[in-house]
C-alpha cells in the first residue's frame, strides 16, 4: 500500500519520462531530495502549471510504494515562484546556479534544513540588477554547510595567520596558502575578499542588501568558492561558467 507524504519543497529539475510524463527532482524540507513522476505533465500543464519551473517553492504531495525509487507526484501547490518577477539572463543564470549545485551536491533522502533555508533566501534575492551578491553568498555558505570550507584565517601549509593579507588557493588542493607557501599554479585571493567572506559568515544576507555589487566585486571569492565546489563534486558546473561571462 502506498504511503502519502507532504512537504515544502524546491523544484530543481525536470526531464521527459515515458510518453507524456516528466521526471521531477524535488529538494524537500522533510526528506531531502526526492525524485518522482508527474503523470501526463507534458500533455497538459493544467494539473501542475507553473509549479514545474526550476527553483519554484511548492507544497508537494506524493505517493510512495515500498521498494520503488520513484514516487508518484499527486499535487504541487506553489508557495513562491521566480516567475513573479521578470526572468532575464542574469537572474536565470543565478537561479540555475543554485539548482545545479543542489542537484549535484545533495544525496537522496537526506534532509538538510539549513541548506533549504539558504537556497530559498538567495533565490528570492536573485534579481537582474543584483545577481552577484546572492550568488557569492550562496557559493560561500553551501561550501561551509557541506563541510568543504577551509579555515580562512590560517595558511593550510604553515599555520601562519592570514589576517589582513592576501592568500592563494589551488584548484586541485584544499585550503588557503600564504604567499611564501603557495603551490604552483595557485590563484590569488585578496585580503578584501577574505574579509568579506568572514563578514558573510557572521551575518545574514539581508545585512548586505544596501551595498553596491557590480560584477567585478569579489570575483576572486566566487572563483575560489566555485573551484572548491567543482573539486569536491568532481564535475564542471555549467551555470558557474555562465555567471562568469555575464
Measured in degrees and rounded to the nearest 5, phi and psi for residue 25 equal -105, 120
Q: pTM (2 decimals)?
A: 0.96
Q: What would the mean pLDDT of 170-182 be, rounded to a whole number?
A: 95
Q: Which of 125, 85, 82, 141 lies closest to 213 in space, CA to CA?
A: 125
| The predicted structure's pLDDT at residue 45 | 67
**Helices and strands counted in the chain (H then E):** 6, 7
Residue 50 banded pLDDT, cuts 50, 70, 90: confident
Q: Which of 166, 191, 246 lies closest to 214 in space, CA to CA?
A: 246
- Quote the percentage of the chain above a pLDDT of 90: 88
| The predicted structure's pLDDT at residue 60 | 97
* 115, 145 contact by CB (below 8 A): yes
Residue 67 banded pLDDT, cuts 50, 70, 90: confident
Ordered by where they begin, the domains of the chain are 3-82 (2.40.50.140), 89-245 (1.20.1440.120)
Q: Which of 188, 184, 179 lies closest to 227 in space, CA to CA?
A: 188
| The predicted structure's pLDDT at residue 18 | 82
Asked whether the CA dihedral 173, 221, 147, 13 is positive or negative, the reply is negative
Distance CA 168, CA 136 (A): 18
| The predicted structure's pLDDT at residue 35 | 97
Distance CA 176, CA 3 (A): 48
Distances (CA, A) of 19 to 30, 48, 92, 200: 30, 17, 28, 46
Task: Give kind and range of the element (H or E) at residue 58.
Answer: strand 57-64
- 46 pLDDT more than 80: no
Query: What is the SS3 string spanning 107-167?
Result: CECCCCHHHHHHHHHHHCCCECCECHHHHHHHHHHHHHHCCCCCCCCECCCCCCECCCCCE
Asked whether the CA dihedral 187, 149, 130, 163 is positive or negative, the reply is negative
Amino acid at each position: 500500500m502506498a504511503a502519502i507524504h507532504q512537504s515544502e519543497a524546491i523544484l530543481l529539475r525536470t526531464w521527459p519520462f515515458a510518453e507524456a510524463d516528466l521526471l521531477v527532482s524535488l529538494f524537500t524540507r522533510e526528506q531531502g531530495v526526492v525524485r518522482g513522476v508527474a503523470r501526463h505533465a507534458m500533455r497538459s500543464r493544467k494539473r501542475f502549471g507553473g509549479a514545474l519551473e526550476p527553483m519554484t517553492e511548492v507544497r508537494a504531495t506524493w505517493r510512495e510504494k515500498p521498494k520503488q525509487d520513484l514516487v508518484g507526484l499527486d499535487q504541487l501547490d506553489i508557495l513562491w515562484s521566480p516567475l513573479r518577477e521578470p526572468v532575464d539572463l542574469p537572474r536565470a543564470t543565478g537561479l540555475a546556479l543554485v539548482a545545479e549545485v543542489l542537484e549535484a551536491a545533495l544525496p537522496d533522502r537526506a534532509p538538510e534544513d539549513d541548506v533549504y533555508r539558504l537556497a530559498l533566501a538567495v533565490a528570492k534575492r536573485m534579481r537582474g540588477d543584483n545577481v552577484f551578491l546572492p550568488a557569492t553568498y550562496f557559493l560561500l555558505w553551501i561550501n561551509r554547510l557541506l563541510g568543504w570550507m577551509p579555515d580562512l584565517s590560517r595558511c593550510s601549509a604553515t599555520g601562519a595567520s592570514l589576517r589582513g593579507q592576501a592568500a592563494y588557493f589551488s584548484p586541485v588542493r584544499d585550503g588557503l596558502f600564504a604567499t611564501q607557501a603557495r603551490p604552483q599554479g595557485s590563484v590569488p585571493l585578496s585580503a578584501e575578499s577574505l574579509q568579506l567572506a568572514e563578514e558573510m559568515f557572521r551575518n545574514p544576507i539581508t545585512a548586505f542588501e544596501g551595498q553596491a555589487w557590480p560584477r567585478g566585486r569579489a570575483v576572486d571569492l566566487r572563483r575560489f568558492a566555485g573551484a572548491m565546489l567543482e573539486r569536491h563534486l568532481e564535475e564542471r558546473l555549467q551555470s558557474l561558467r555562465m555567471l562568469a561571462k555575464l
